[in-house]
Amino acid sequence: MNNASVDTALRSPKVVIIGTGVTGILMTIKLREAGITDLVVLEKKDCLGGTWRENTYPGLACDIPAHMYTYSFELNPNWSHLFAYGAEIREYCEMVGRKYGVTDKVQFNEEVVSSIYDKGKWTVTTRKGNTYVADFVINCTGILHHPARPQIKGIDTFKGAMFHTAEWDHSVDLQGKRIGVIGTGSTAAQVIPEVAKQAGKLSVFQRTPQWILPLANKEFSEADKAKFREHPNRLRRLRLAYEWAIQNLLTKAVTGHQPQNFLFSAMCKLNLRFSVKDKKLREKLRPDYKVGCKRIIINKTFYDAVQRDNVELVTDGIVEITPKGIRTKDGREHELDVLVLSTGFHNFNFMRPMDMRGKDGLTIDEAWSKKIRTYRSLFMPNFPNNFLMLGPHTPIGNYSVIAMSEVQCGYILQILQRWRERKFDEIDVQPEALERFSRYMKEGMSQTVWVGGCQSWYLDPDGDPVLWPYTWQRWEKEMKTPEMQDFKLTTFA
């Protein structure tokens, strides 16, 4: 081979993929399809599935229509319900992993503890002490991943069983027990109806009520599934219909489109009005903020559950957790055998607690000390050749994260292709581009419902929402092609 042919041949990068939830599985498949085969795929646990592996609480389901919450290249005719249950989604992840040869590629039980950059190379070290040197790192570490235990006085004194929804303790028998659930978010709305069926008494500790959109979980019959198998076009059309509906109705409802917001507001308000008979209880369940300000809960069973005879909605604030239960502001002690913490996640951790260091030893904690910011959700300045999947400003009002990952994956592949063509060794986002992107996000936020005066996991510590404030269509269009002028490209001699 002469020198000229060496220079024009595509280089093959070594890439470390961290995490094998829906995003890591996708990246592994797509990189290999693109001919990038020198991959190290690291997973801290012993199987695939990410959030669908971690969460096993009763009632766990996805509130995005199942036929849309699938990879575009692996539609699934066999979903049992409109909103698939967790175990089924996990099986789907495992099936895709096996079918596309991802599972065999993954190094399981390999938690990454550090990721250090130096001149075009990342050195990734795992807890076991293994190190991998790579040209690129792709963090597929998820958003809602680190359970948040509430900082409530006395929490460690509770003598009964206590666990977070994302760490469900299946050894605890709930039958006939006095159970408390703290929280009334998307997770709690799924957990409470199931726990209520078993509990002797269930106390639901609500700090802030939520708006609920009443969509029933339609079951697909065997005949439906057979039709989808025989006619894949039906499946495609169904997916397109769901995509259209969420893009043009739900996503627009939360990003400043009044007719859509009016529609969903009316649906949620009528749901409360007609589902909850007792006026006093209804008022306790009525949010005082705009529909969509907190993530709209899609659920048809929560209101029925809180009206059961064995369920009490407690709205007096929690003062402390005692050895026997929970004491509320009215002085009552609610005695409990089991306490379930449905209190959400530390969603700003991203790839942390990993020790991640970019140029000149800059740590990710230092880089994000004032504000957690990224360019186009994927890039952090001074952390070259490193991508954060589903980073800040990725979440798009109630849309499928699988679809978002596919778009981000397409974007990353274009960047990698340029590296392969030797157009650079190091790619880093320009500080001005980050500033411009941050301004662009801020400008869009003012029209969204997230600035409607409610508290939610959508807000960063400064109270700024970290979602995409525009339409899905706009995001997809802008993510189609990287704007290369926004990057500083370096070639090492």
The interface region with ligand NAP, picked from 177-185, 229-237, 267-275, 475-483 by CB under 6 A, is 177-185
Listing from the earlier edge strand, what are the strands of the sheet with 311-314? 161-164, 338-341, 178-182, 201-205, 311-314
Contact residue for ligand NAP among 157, 258, 455, 490 (CB under 6 A): 455
The interface region with ligand NAP, picked from 4-12, 336-344, 421-429, 484-492 by CB under 6 A, is 336-344
SS (H, E, C) 167-192: HCCCCCCCCCCEEEEECCCHHHHHHH
Q: Report if residue 86 touches ligand NAP, rule: CB under 6 A.
A: no
In the complex, the smallest distance separating the C-beta of residue 466 from ligand NAP, rounded to whole angstroms, is: 12
Q: Report if residue 185 touches ligand NAP, rule: CB under 6 A.
A: yes
Contact residue for ligand NAP among 92, 350, 375, 457 (CB under 6 A): 457
DSSP code, position 401 = H
Residues 134/121, Cβ–Cβ less than 8 Å: yes
Residues 20/50, Cβ–Cβ less than 8 Å: yes
Give, as ranges, the residues between 278 and 317 that touch ligand NAP (CB under 6 A).
295
Q: Report if residue 152 touches ligand NAP, rule: CB under 6 A.
A: yes
Contact residue for ligand NAP among 134, 140, 188, 326 (CB under 6 A): 188
Q: Give dist(CA 13, CA 120) in Å, integer.
A: 11
> How many residues sit close enough to ligand NAP to count as binding (CB under 6 A)?
23
- Check whether the bond before 353 is cis (ω within 30° of 0): yes
The interface region with ligand NAP, picked from 100-108, 331-339, 341-349, 440-448 by CB under 6 A, is 341-349
The interface region with ligand NAP, picked from 61-69, 99-107, 128-136, 383-391 by CB under 6 A, is 61-69
Q: How far is CA 354 from CA 23, 47, 126, 151, 176, in A?
A: 18, 20, 10, 23, 42
Q: Give dist(CA 262, CA 350) in Å, integer.
A: 34
Contact characters 9-48, ligand NAP, x per CB under 6 A: ----------------------------------------
DSSP code, position 360 = G
Output phi, psi for 367, to 5 deg: -60, -35
How far from chain centre, in Å, is Cα 286?
A: 26
In the complex, the smallest distance separating the C-beta of residue 159 from ligand NAP, rounded to whole angstroms, is: 20
Q: Give dist(CA 66, CA 45) in Å, integer.
A: 25
In the complex, the smallest distance separating the C-beta of residue 295 from ligand NAP, rounded to whole angstroms, is: 4
- CB nearer to ligand NAP: pick between 284 and 420: 284
Q: Residue 345's closest CA among 458, 425, 452, 247?
A: 458
Residues 133/122, Cβ–Cβ less than 8 Å: yes
- CB nearer to ligand NAP: pick between 203 and 343: 343
Q: Report if residue 187 touches ligand NAP, rule: CB under 6 A.
A: yes
- CB nearer to ligand NAP: pick between 103 and 328: 328
Give, as ranges, the residues between 195 and 234 that touch ligand NAP (CB under 6 A).
207-208
In the complex, the smallest distance separating the C-beta of residue 28 from ligand NAP, rounded to whole angstroms, is: 23
Q: Which two tokens stand for residue 50?
A: 């990410």
DSSP code, position 85 = B
The interface region with ligand NAP, picked from 220-228, 339-347, 435-443, 471-479 by CB under 6 A, is 339-347
Residues 51/144, Cβ–Cβ less than 8 Å: yes
- CB nearer to ligand NAP: pick between 235 and 318: 318
In the complex, the smallest distance separating the C-beta of residue 483 from ligand NAP, rounded to whole angstroms, is: 29
DSSP code, position 296 = P
How far from chain centre, in Å, is Cα 58?
A: 19
- What residue ranges bind ligand NAP (CB under 6 A)? 61-63, 144, 150, 152, 182-188, 190, 207-208, 295, 318, 342-344, 455, 457
